[in-house]
Amino acid sequence: QVQLVESGGGVVQAGGSLRLTCVATGNQFSINVMAWFRQAPGKERELIGSVSSGGTIEYSNSAKGRFRIARDSGKNAIHLQANNLNDQDTAMYYCAAGRIAFPDYVYDYWGQGTQVTVSS
C-alpha cells in the first residue's frame, strides 16, 4: 500500500557530502514513522535515524554529528544529509516506513535502496 523510492546516491570522495531523498506514495496516511537504514557488504543492516509522524527525530549513536534527517513538508518525502563521508559509509542506503510506532517501531515498507560509494 506504500511505495518508497530512494534517490541521490552515487560516488563521492572522502570528506564529501550527499543528500538522499525518499519519496513515499500510496496510502501515506498510514505511515507513522520513516527512517533511513544502510547495509554495507558483509555487515548487518544498520539504523541511521528515524522521524515519526509527530516530528520526533532520532539518530543512532554512530550517526550523530554527520547525518541529518529532514522532512519535506511540500512532498511526502524525507531527506538524509550525509556529511564528511568516509569509506566506512560505503553502503546501500534504504528508506523504510512503518505503521506501528508502539511499543516499538516496526517497518512494513522498504525501498530498493540507493548505493553510496565513498572513494579516496
Can you give the chain as a three-state secondary structure string?
CEEEEEECCEEEECCCCEEEEEEEEECHHHCCEEEEEEECCCCCCEEEEEEECCCCEEECCCCCCCEEEEEECCCCEEEEEECCCCHHHCEEEEEEEECECCCCCECCEECCCEEEEEEC
Q: What is the mean pLDDT of the chain?
A: 93
**pLDDT at residue 62, as a whole number:** 82
Give the separation between CA 95 and CA 108, rounded to whole angstroms: 11
Confidence of residue 2 (pLDDT cuts 50, 70, 90): very high
Between 13 and 75, residue with greater pLDDT: 13
Give every CB contact of residue 74 below 8 A, 6+ residues apart in sequence. none
For 37-89, what is each residue's pLDDT tens digit? Answer: 999 999 999 999 999 988 899 999 888 799 999 988 777 899 999 999 999 99
**pLDDT at residue 63, as a whole number:** 83
**pLDDT at residue 72, as a whole number:** 85
Beta bridge partners of 58: 50
